[in-house]
Structure 1
Amino acid sequence: MQTERMALLNAHVAAENAHRMAETLATLHQDCLFEDMATGQVFHGRAGAEAHYRQWWDAFGLTFSRGAEDRGHWTEDGSYVGQGRFEGRHVGTFLGIPPTGKLVSYRFCVFVGFRDGLMAGERFYYDLAGLLRQVDAADWRPEAAA
């Protein structure tokens, strides 16, 4: 089962890095759940997942990479815990912050569950304050995005 799930994860990352929305969404269960623990945002279903990806792709054109130190782990319940790095350039509005053109690079950790042979969603953690410093928005407050 881990082999099939790893193949699914690899297909997901390839589609995500190429910003191919239909292929990215095809790896997700229709009732998927995305939880951005840093911003407090929660996205439900494939429509929510699309909004999540659009937010990051449009704002930063992000791509994901894994270094040698970024090994993933399978849990006893079959979930995957991974880490990696996102890199991009701030080219669109993010959380109400206008684009700065600055390069961004940040590490994150993600927990991925599975359901019916697809990804059931992601819960991810990263240093939002560090990302905001990279775009000169260290004084950003959540109410600014409302």
Structure 2
Amino acid sequence: MTFVQLIDCRTSRFDEMNRLMDRWVEQTKGKRTATHDVIGKDRSDSGHFVEIVEFASYEDAMRNSNLPETDRIFQEMVALCDETPTFTDLDVVRDEQLNCLAARGFFEDMGRMAPEDIGDHLTDDYVDDDPSYPEPVRGVEGIREQYAGWRAAFDFAFRIDDQMAQEDQVCTRWTWSARHNGEFLGIAATGQDVTMRGMTWQRFRDGRICESHWMYDRAGLLEQLGVLGR
């Protein structure tokens, strides 16, 4: 279970504390078990800071606390605080990366939603960058036409293999499985079952996708359709 520690402190010497944290990051390289660290400043109280440190488990957090480097830095941190910091230990009972969920919904709908519905997932100024096309596709109408072409050529579905999120960005690694039931790039329907693996990097705004960059093995798809390697 993911574990989070909240450190609540007051200090008028945050710049010094920030440099202290930089030193801890450097000194614990290859040793620390913390996976994510965020420090927030209270907008209504400039001397009030909350640090959020994430670990894979409580046991990992304890191993991190027992590092001699952590103990030394902690003593120096306390000296920089205006009062003794408080600690809150939390077992994470729900953790949703909302943009990951939105990306997953997009891929789950691909292949089964009608072309006119693809705009439900996209912003009006959406940009789609696919290296198989000479220029990025801009706007919902353009990507709707592109999607309709794939739908006409294949019955397909995506399987989500992995996802990573950072700020407003999500990278999804996927496997595409399809049956070639219609003309594709001048290739008559073969009835062939085909697969592709790929990754899509996407940026989100207000819960919708505003930008996508695709990477996949189109040459491998053409080889499966018997066009390449003949």
TM-score, normalised to structure 1, is: 0.81
Q: 1:116-139: CA deviations, max 9, x gaps?
A: 331013111111111001100116
Higher relative contact order (CA 8 A, sep 6+): 1
Q: Does 1:29 align with 2:123?
A: yes
The residue number in structure 2 matching 1:10 is: 104
**Cα-Cα RMSD:** 2.1
CA distance in 2 between counterparts of 1:83 and 1:138 reads 25
CA distance in 1 between counterparts of 2:143 and 2:193 reads 24
The residue number in structure 2 matching 1:73 is: 164
CA distance in 2 between counterparts of 1:72 and 1:11 reads 13
**Equivalent runs, 1:1-146 vs 2, <5 Å:** 3-40=97-134, 42-66=136-160, 70-75=161-166, 77-138=167-228
Q: Any gaps of 5 or more consecutive residues in structure 1?
A: 141-146
TM-score, normalised to structure 2, is: 0.53
Q: 1:91-128: CA deviations, max 9, x gaps?
A: 11112222211111110110111123310131111111
Q: Any gaps of 5 or more consecutive residues in structure 2?
A: 1-95
CA distance in 2 between counterparts of 1:135 and 1:109 reads 21
CA distance in 2 between counterparts of 1:117 and 1:32 reads 13
Counterparts in 2 of 1:11 and 1:116: CA distance versus 1, 3 Å: same
Q: 1:59-116: CA deviations, max 9, x gaps?
A: 11221012xxx221113x4211111111111111112222211111110110111123
* AA of the residue aligned to 2:208: L
The size of the alignment, in residue pairs, is 135
Segments ≥4 residues shifted beyond 4 Å: none
Q: Is the contact between residue 15 and residue 21 of structure 1 (CA under 8 Å) also seen in structure 2? A: no
CA distance in 2 between counterparts of 1:117 and 1:35 reads 20
Structure number with greater Rg is: 2
% identical aligned pairs:
24
Q: 1:10-51: CA deviations, max 9, x gaps?
A: 332232242233443211001111121134453211101101
Counterparts in 2 of 1:54 and 1:10: CA distance versus 1, 3 Å: same
CA distance in 1 between counterparts of 2:156 and 2:133 reads 17
* AA of the residue aligned to 1:61: D
